[in-house]
Amino acid sequence: MGNNIGSKRLVVGAHYGLKEWVAQRITAVIMSLYTIGLFLAVLFTPDIDYVKWVGFFNFTVFSFPLGKMLALLAILSLCYHAYIGIRDIWMDYIKPTGIRLTLQVFTALWLLGAAGYAADILWRV
Amino acid sequence: MSNTVAKKRPEYRNIHVTQILKYRLPLAGKLSILHRVSGAVLFLALPVILLPLFDKSITSELTFLEMQSLVSSPLVKIVLLGLIWSYLHHFAAGIRYLALDVHMGTEKYAASKSAGIVFAVSLSLTALFGLKLFGVF
């Protein structure tokens, strides 16, 4: 790396943003697998009622809350994925730094709130 | 050259908002901008529509029934169908991007064909889920 600190630090170049790019793809794969798994479980469960539906999320394996952990993994992946994607939108269309920063902070808070809300829902059942 | 000043041809560099409607995007371009739009829609809907519905569906038997009666309203069904389309388009287009990332189907013809497949898959699945949602089967 060249200049990494101060006002003249290098902010462009090869590999800049690579971590986010890779993370967005990994989280996408996690969400796809979770979605397909959940969809197949719903599809092959006849006459779904409340008890069967909750069972997809609060089942345990050797008293480990696997259903909740998988759902949490999917929702955390979703939030990181969406943070990168929405940040890309702001970077493409919003040029003034102040407005862009405000929107990015709002995005992060929006998603942190969503993740907390989802965890709260999951651990209530 | 005698005709160099004859006619000023329109130049398109960065597309301006006012040009969006008359700018003829290829199918893959439409897929791309809709991937972005559907992602943004899902981002906005997550904590205000999707999670509250999930909350109701899972919290208790009583709230599960509340969720069912909420979803039985046609207005909510239309909103949900929009979100279902957003999810399916984002999903199918995302799979295509993952393939492109590993250099599958990057040639002009293959890329345009796979864009067509994405629309065919996401729209027919949306139709299928829509028919199920509105109780046709």
What pLDDT does residue B9 have? 83
B91 φ, ψ to 5°? -65, -55
- Domains in chain A, ordered, with CATH? 18-124 (1.20.1300.10)
The answer as to whether B57 is a domain residue is: yes
Report whether pLDDT(B103) > 70.
yes
A18/B63: higher pLDDT: B63
Do the Cβ atoms of B43 and A29 come within 8 Å? no
What pLDDT does residue B12 have? 67
Q: How far is A94 from chain B (nearest CA, A)?
A: 13
Q: Which residues 7-26 of B are in CB contact (within 8 Å) with A? A: none
pLDDT digits (tens, 9 = 90+) for B63-83: 999 999 999 999 999 999 999
For B80, half-sphere exposure in the C-beta direction (CA atoms, 13 angstrom radius) is: 21
The answer as to whether B118 is a domain residue is: yes
The answer as to whether B39 is a domain residue is: yes
What pLDDT does residue B8 have? 82
A67/B16: higher pLDDT: A67
Do the Cβ atoms of B95 and A32 come within 8 Å? yes
The answer as to whether B19 is a domain residue is: no
Average pLDDT over residues A58-79: 96
State how many domains chain B has: 1
Q: How far is B10 from chain A (nearest CA, A)?
A: 23
Ranges A13-17, A40-44, A49-53, B35-39: which has the least confidence:
A13-17
Q: How far is A10 from chain B (nearest CA, A)?
A: 26
DSSP assigned state of A81: H
Average pLDDT over residues B37-58: 96
pLDDT digits (tens, 9 = 90+) for B15-26: 777 777 777 889
Cα distance between residue B110 and residue B113, in whole Å: 5
Report whether pLDDT(B46) > 80.
yes
A79 φ, ψ to 5°? -65, -40
User: What's the distance, Cα to Cα, between the start and end of chain B in Å?
Assistant: 69
What pLDDT does residue A2 have? 60
B33 φ, ψ to 5°? -70, -30
Q: How are the residues of chain A apportioned to helix, strand and coil, as percentages rounded to the nearest 5? A: 75, 0, 25
Contact B122, B88 (CB under 8 A): yes
What pLDDT does residue B4 have? 61
Report whether pLDDT(A9) > 80.
no
Do the Cβ atoms of B59 and A82 come within 8 Å? no
Report the CATH number that the domain containing residue B59 is assigned in CATH: 1.20.1300.10
Query: Which of B80, B83, B78, B85 has its CA nearest to residue B119?
Result: B85
